[in-house]
Structure 1
Amino acid sequence: MKIKVASRGSKLALIQVKEIMHKLFLRKYIYEDQGPSYEMFKEYDNFENAYEVETITTKGDKLSALGKKQFDKLNFVSDVEKCLLDGDADFAVHSAKDFPSEANKDLKYHIIDNDGGSLSLNDDILIFRNSLEPIFERSMKIGTSSLRRKMYAKHVLRAKNIHDLNGNIDTRLNKLESGEFDCIVLSEAGIRRLFNQTIHIPEYKEELDEPIKNLNYKRLKSCPAVGQGRLLVQYKSDNRFAKIIKDCFEIEDDFTGEIHAMRYFLNKINADCNSAIGFEAHDGSHSGRVSFFKGQVFGLNSFIEFEGWSEDGMDLAAELALKDFIEKGGKDLLDEHN
């Protein structure tokens, strides 16, 4: 009996399901003698034969198709969660960026870290038309649908010609190459997945800087949205595969403390991934190093950077960053967009 995986139906979403199933299939050998759900797994000699996708067109997909931009990201998640709660799928794969900061209490979840960790792979990248030099000029027509990215372009790049850009990644790239835009902003991790240059642990660290083939781009020095580039697995605790999912992905919880701290921060300031705020953090507690938490928040006419550092772990670093954010007037900047 195959595993049923709930997912949105975009090309990128289906690639993300495949990535999670590959990880699950690799890790199941560690636990293969631990019960009937593992026995069910043994009948498959290839992970691609072990699952089928329950494809869901979410309310968020419908709103995006209508050209809507600023809406609650829960609209990308709630229809998929209903599929889980109704027992129509064994687990779901989400983009962690779309996951609401208040999780559904009837479902369990694990945030999955990228292989290669936080080494620039969750950044925003600025992609230029192939006919242009990858050097940004203020007069260039730049496209993005994200408020945070628009404000970064305005305040940091000093861009004068910022426009909305809707559609899936393929659609956006096609609009770029057709001459509708000079450059666009996208997530590096999403592009790498779509171009089949997924993020693996390299033999040598410098391989992480291998450029994305056939793409004319540069990395931006911005703080990304919470969960950008990460995936999230969600399931019911009484599902037939709950144990194998928990065993294989619970270990990720030790390496995604930064994301949980960011989600806590968003809750405290009543913001979400649509807000004009981004974060960068590193939990040094596993290696005996200092933890840091920093970010950028953008108003209509100005922006600030805030930070917190601690030798006592990620939670304290986030609290200190929150204190810095409040003292510098970060909440007032966010409220300018309301």
Structure 2
Amino acid sequence: MEKMIIATRKSALAVWQSEFIKNEIEKKHLIPVELQGFKTKGDIILDTPLAKIGGKGLFTKELEISMLNGESHLAVHSLKDVPMEFPQGLILAAVSKREIPNDALLSDKFSSLNDLPNGAKIGTTSLRRKMQLSILRPDLEIISLRGNVNTRIKKLKDGEFDAIILAMAGIKRIGIDKEVRYIYEFSKDEMIPAMGQGVLGIECLNKEEILEKISFLNDKNSFIETTIERDFVKILEGGCQVPIGINAEIIGENIKIRAIIGLIDGSKFIKEERIIKLSDYKNAGVDLANEFIKKGAKELLKEASLMG
């Protein structure tokens, strides 16, 4: 293989992620890697919540078509945006070392969640974040916020919101911390992250030549944690259309798992936490999902999807 081509979205965060993987591959294999930019449907339709227009697969479809047409070899995604199923011929080949998976509240006026006044306007499109915010602070006015990171920051600066919520991983990767006065990092007990948050997922053509080149990118701990998280969501058949949070964290020889599902307004929810042995990770996501189902998770998610 003389060179590799990465299909990427054109947003600042997507380009940073693709550039990071490009540099890793070039260092490892001493072959040139090019980026090919695309605008996805998710980047174009900004006035409608993702849940109403088809979910997070809208951020990957154009990149997948590019790979299947032979125009590129791989694509780098935020793993939380990667659907459970892949088109024939494509595969999730590697998951990167995890950046901080927590969510964060960004504001130029207020230093923490508790500092926000009653009725403060908070920007987020995530149903998962909206649910957990509603549980923590039911008085807040939560308003849909779409667009790339720079667009969201501008809306905050322009005074459209008192605060917005973003992933800490993206904040760190593209240096947003220098642009906003206050960044309050939620603990995982306050707000359980999304499946795969903080991890890059490398999707590629299911060809041995390509798989061999990128296998070194796969991080063992991230693989274990995200296997649990993705299995949990897959069994519950949950995506961005329903409020669902799941995080697995390796701590020594154990894994701490936190999970939550519920209604968008936070009026009903199921929240669980458990610690398992590291060696028991393979069935952990499925087992936890089945426990949630016994407690009424399917019915609750169906109710949540009707509310959305």
Query: Smaller-chain TM-score range?
Result: 0.7 to 0.9
Report whether the alignment pairs 1:160 with 2:140.
yes
CA distance 1:319–1:86, change in 2 (3 Å): closer
For this pair of structures, how many residues does the alignment match? 293
Residues 299-318 of structure 1: matches in 2 within 5 Å? 299=263, 300=265, 301-311=267-277, 312-318=279-285
Partners of 2:39 and 2:170 lie apart in 1 by: 19
Correspondence 1:52 to 2:34: yes
Cα gap change, 1:173 to 1:103, in 2 (>3 Å)? same
Q: What residue ranges of structure 2 are gaps of 5+ in the alignment?
A: none
Q: Deviations over 1:133-182 (max 9, x none)?
A: 43233321111111111111111222331111121111111111111110
The worse-fitting range, judged by mean Cα deviation, of 259-268 and 66-75 is 66-75
1:148 is aligned to 128
> SS of 1:226's equivalent?
coil
The structure-2 alpha-carbon separation of the partners of 1:266 and 1:133, relative to structure 1 and needing over 3 Å to count, comes to closer
Q: Tell me which amino acid in the other structure corresponds to 2:229.
A: M
Aligned counterpart, 2:169: 189
Is 1:91 matched with 2:81?
A: no
1:309–1:317 CA distance, 2 compared to 1 (3 A): farther
Equivalent position of 1:109 in the other structure: 92
Q: Quote the Cα distance in structure 2 between the aligned partners of 1:76 and 1:214.
A: 26
Q: Deviations over 1:200-229 (max 9, x none)?
A: xxxxxxxxxxxx445311112311111122
More strand by share: 2
Superposition misfits of 4+ residues, deviation over 4 angstroms: none
Instruction: Tell me if the contact between 1:5 and 1:89 (Cα under 8 Å) persists in the aligned partners.
Output: yes
Kindly provide the amino acid, as one letter, of the partner of residue 90 in structure 1: H
Change in Cα spacing, 1:268 to 1:323, as seen in structure 2 (3 Å) is closer
Measure, in 1, the Cα distance between the counterparts of 2:165 and 2:293.
29
Aligned to 2:239: 272
Question: Whole-Å Cα distance in 1 between the matches of residues 117 and 298 of structure 2?
Answer: 31
- Cα pair 1:6 1:93 within 8 Å, conserved: yes
* Letter of the structure 1 residue corresponding to residue 123 of structure 2: G
Contact kept in structure 1, 2:50 and 2:240, CA below 8 Å: no
Q: CA deviation at 1:283?
A: 4.4
Q: Please, what is the CA RMSD of the aligned residues? A: 2.3
Is the partner of 1:233 in helix, strand or coil?
Answer: strand
Which residue among 30, 37, 45 is the counterpart of 1:63?
Answer: 45
1:108–1:236 contact (8 Å) kept in structure 2: yes
Report the 3-state secondary structure (helix = DSSP H, G, I; strand = E; otherwise coil) of the residue aligned with 2:196.
Answer: coil
The residue aligned with 1:173 is 153
Where 1:5 maps in the other structure, the secondary structure is: strand
The 8 Å contact of residues 122 and 224 in structure 1, kept in 2 or not, is answered as yes
- Measure the CA separation in 1 of the matches of 2:39 and 2:26: 27
Structure 2 counterpart SS, 1:109:
strand
TM-score normalized with structure 1 length: 0.79
* Deviation for aligned residue 1:242: 3.9
Paired with 1:245 and 1:111, the residues of 2 have a C-alpha distance of 7
Q: Which residue of 1 aligns with 2:249?
A: 282
Q: Note if contact 1:292-1:314 (Cα within 8 Å) is conserved in structure 2.
A: no
What one-letter code is carried by the residue in structure 1 that aligns with 2:68?
L
Distance 1:327 1:138 in 2: 37
